[in-house]
Amino acid sequence: MRYTPLSAATYREHRARFRQHMDKGGLAVFHSNDVMPTSADGTMPFKQASDIFHLSGIDQEETVLLLFPDATDPKDREILFVRETSELIAIWEGAKFTQKEASALSGIATVLWTSAYEATIKRLVPQCELLYLNSNEHLRQSNEVETREERKNKELRAQYPLHGVKRSAPIMHRIRSRKTQEEVEQIQRAIAITGKAFERVCGFVEPGVKEYAIEAEIIHEFIRHGSRGHAYTPIIASGYNACVLHYVTNDQVCQDGDVVLMDFGCEYGGYASDLTRSIPVNGRFTKRQRAVYNAVLRVKNAATQLLRPGTLLAEYHREVGRIMESELIGLGLLDKHDVAKQDPERPLYKKYFMHGTSHFLGLDVHDVGLWNEMIQPDMVFTVEPGIYIREEKLGIRLENNILVTRDAPIDLFADIPVEAEAVEALMARSRKKALA
């Protein structure tokens, strides 16, 4: 295995948290993702469904998990199904989990082959009072492709139309939003690798390099340290490109005098990191670039301190908007008299800072969570304010990942330079090291 997995004890804790929210007699079913086709006989790299991974740690296709706390037979209270291997599969694809290995990793005693799933469902569903079915209820999801889970849900509902159904997603959003200590440590491993990649590119960036060459340096550092790659499609945006929020073409030349915005993060053991840094292509910020940079940095630092238990995310984002408003006035981008007369529903700062400041982070880079409830300890958020001045071809965004605690928030990227002077110094050191 390329990465160090979490312990079986952590996966047992995750399942216990889910069971606490189940009604009596409920049977919960979770499926893995499909292996997705490309064309001809090609397939995309397999990416496990986050919910079944959170509950079992099994990173393999054709996996199914059943949770039935009130089953009469204790062996039926947790059942894991994994794909049965064969000599042919071992030759062409490599080893798959044995039942013993899957049990040791997940902490689930009853492990069967996936081929036994249908017969097991026919035996257990008549014993349960209702079914808990899972679905993708992320606020931003817009998937047009039917998932394996959706297919199997349809089959169950057609086969057992008289059984009541409850949604697993609200429970998963609740339990996944608060991280265990081992989950935080896994995120920190991803962050450490991402920090190494940032240091590497600081010694590589110079006038004339292509954005995709910077991307190549990043993925090199990810892979050599045990990551499977990017947690999301990286943004390497120089000059005006930095004002395009989801710029991923990464095919332009970095020009002398420009700033390059780099939004990237590695995935390690299924967990994401999410970093943004904006660095001068030639190694030195201009006076104007530094002024905008420091304004964004002040907003980031202030926003970080607002991530406290008991705060509503909607109130948090409004307060960050007010802080940004003040900085934009100081930069001469907004007029304080116009701001005083603005429509509160259409604040003027949105012209230069048009996205949100924070989102949940975990197994997914835009992780699930309860947006309408108070922030709680053990949640992990990004903090990523930005200022985008299209007429100046300048976009600055800075982003760190923050752990909420009962006391002060903890910056998980604290060891990675972010102050303008520290970034310039790192670029100078790294370039000297690269030339040595």
Which candidate in 62, 367, 384, 424 is catalytic? 384
Report the alpha-carbon distance of residue 226 to residue 221 in Å, rounded: 9
Which candidate in 76, 263, 364, 424 is catalytic? 263
Report the alpha-carbon distance of residue 65 to residue 394 in Å, rounded: 49
Which candidate in 274, 325, 327, 424 is catalytic? 274
The answer to whether residue 41 is catalytic is yes
Which candidate in 117, 240, 352, 388 is catalytic? 388
The string of DSSP codes covering 78-112 is: EEEEEPPP-HHHHHHT-----HHHHHHHH--SEEE
The answer to whether residue 230 is catalytic is no
The answer to whether residue 359 is catalytic is yes
Which candidate in 41, 87, 144, 415 is catalytic? 41
The answer to whether residue 384 is catalytic is yes
Which candidate in 246, 337, 346, 406 is catalytic? 246
Torsion sign across C-alpha atoms 237, 243, 247, 252? negative
- Torsions phi, psi for 235 (to 5 deg): -110, 115
The answer to whether residue 31 is catalytic is no
Which candidate in 355, 373, 390, 429 is catalytic? 355
The answer to whether residue 138 is catalytic is no
The string of DSSP codes covering 17-53 is: HHHHTPPTTEEEEEEPPPPPB-STT-BPPP---HHHH
The answer to whether residue 274 is catalytic is yes
For residue 413, the number of C-alpha atoms closer than 13 Å in the C-beta half-sphere is 31
Nearest residue to 278 (alpha-carbon basis) of 394, 374, 194: 394
The answer to whether residue 34 is catalytic is no
Which candidate in 148, 163, 366, 431 is catalytic? 366
Which candidate in 17, 174, 189, 359 is catalytic? 359
Which candidate in 34, 221, 367, 399 is catalytic? 399
Is 156:133 a contact under the CB 8 Å cutoff?
yes
The answer to whether residue 256 is catalytic is no
Report the alpha-carbon distance of residue 120 to residue 136 in Å, rounded: 25
The catalytic residue positions are 41, 246, 263, 274, 355, 359, 366, 384, 388, 397, 399
